[in-house]
Amino acid sequence: MVTLYGELENMLYEINEKALKLESEGKKIIRLNLGDPDMDTPPEIVEAAYASMKAGKTKYSSSYGEKKLREKIAEVHGVKAENVVITPGSKFAVFATMFLTLKNGGNVIIPTPYWTAYDLIAKSVGAKTKLLRTEMEDDWEINIDQLEKLVDENTKMIILNNPNNPTSKAMDTETLEYIVELADRKKITILSDEVYAAISFNKTKSILDYDSEHKHIVSNGFSKTFTMTGWRIGYLIGNKMFIDNITKLNQITFNNVPVFIQDAALKGLELHQKIASAIKAKYKERADMATTKLSAAGFKFTKPDAPFYVFPKLDDLDSERFTLDLLDKGVAVAPGTSFGDYREHFRISLTAPNDQIEVGLDKICEAAT
């Protein structure tokens, strides 16, 4: 029996469990530790799910996903429906892609700071990870020479997260172009996780803008754009062979995302402009509040290009200690060490009601002085 759990621990999950326990004991915790929006799923989406269920769409269905939804996603991204497969959340999409690409060995290059799951998924499928450090002082840009030096004959994949969790930084277009050129030259697949792109404050480039032949893969989802985290629906865009292979994996695992959830997601895409712009405006307000308060308190950070996160730095901070002390004071955030070797940073998720964020930020600023 192989046990994975020791290796797969991360303080991000530990803090969350602790926060839940404190809440169950009756303590009030301001939850700024996870990217789980406080807002409700838009009512039109909920109604669409309900109507679909009432219409009897409660059976097994295609492991590719529903035709109408794949067509709509294809239209949004300017690809063909055969290049799209539906998954239960984009986390599973990332897992499935890494599993298929890395299960026979090889290494994956992951720029840091990273979304915690990339590293844990790579380890869980037995792949080697090569971490590529980026720094706040360089605007979190990937250094292309360092990237090229990390590539070896066993490199199978480069993961990009654009805009990034935890920094909320969108990639510079030139860097993105270089990376695609390097990956094409070295025959390495890029997995581009673009879950924050549609609600990014400024328009960001997609890997699809450089990849008409689908050598690379995009993972995306509905959780962030449509406030649908608990619905568990996401998708992958790739070449037909890759999509067929993911579908085979779907067939032997969850089979299909419930059709009524796919119908709800379709409604979300149909109302995309209206929903995404309202969500964006709300997060922009929060990001402005956070950046004003954090700057006044002396934190350093890059201005968020996308909603949800700020990743401040304080010189000589022990972020794990800071995070635990802050939890005792009723505010949950995530330590920088959950996203790589970033002991002086911590991540604030702006995914609570504005009044709670305000109190949480005040407590954070107080705790740092």
Task: Determine which residue in the list 41, 52, 83, 165 makes contact with ligand PMP, applying CB under 6 A.
Answer: 165
Q: Does 350 bind ligand PMP (CB under 6 A)?
A: no
Task: Determine which residue in the list 49, 191, 195, 332 makes contact with ligand PMP, applying CB under 6 A.
Answer: 195
Task: Determine which residue in the list 52, 168, 223, 227 makes contact with ligand PMP, applying CB under 6 A.
Answer: 223
Overall residue count recorded for the chain in this entry:
369
Q: Does 35 bind ligand PMP (CB under 6 A)?
A: yes
Closer residue to ligand PMP, CB minimum distance, 167 or 314: 167
Among the listed ranges 49-57, 84-92, 102-110, 350-358, the one in contact with ligand PMP (CB under 6 A) is 84-92
Taking CB under 6 A as the rule, which mask of x and - marks residues 309-348 in contact with ligand PMP?
A: ----------------------------------------
Q: How far is the CB of 132 from ligand PMP (least distance, A)?
A: 16
Closer residue to ligand PMP, CB minimum distance, 140 or 314: 140
Closer residue to ligand PMP, CB minimum distance, 29 or 160: 160
Q: Does 112 bind ligand PMP (CB under 6 A)?
A: no
Among the listed ranges 88-96, 125-133, 315-323, 326-334, the one in contact with ligand PMP (CB under 6 A) is 88-96
Closer residue to ligand PMP, CB minimum distance, 92 or 299: 92
Closer residue to ligand PMP, CB minimum distance, 55 or 76: 76
Q: Tell me which residues in 225-244 interact with ligand PMP (CB under 6 A).
A: 229, 234
Contacting residues toward ligand PMP, per CB under 6 A: 35, 89-91, 115, 161, 165, 193, 195, 221, 223, 229, 234
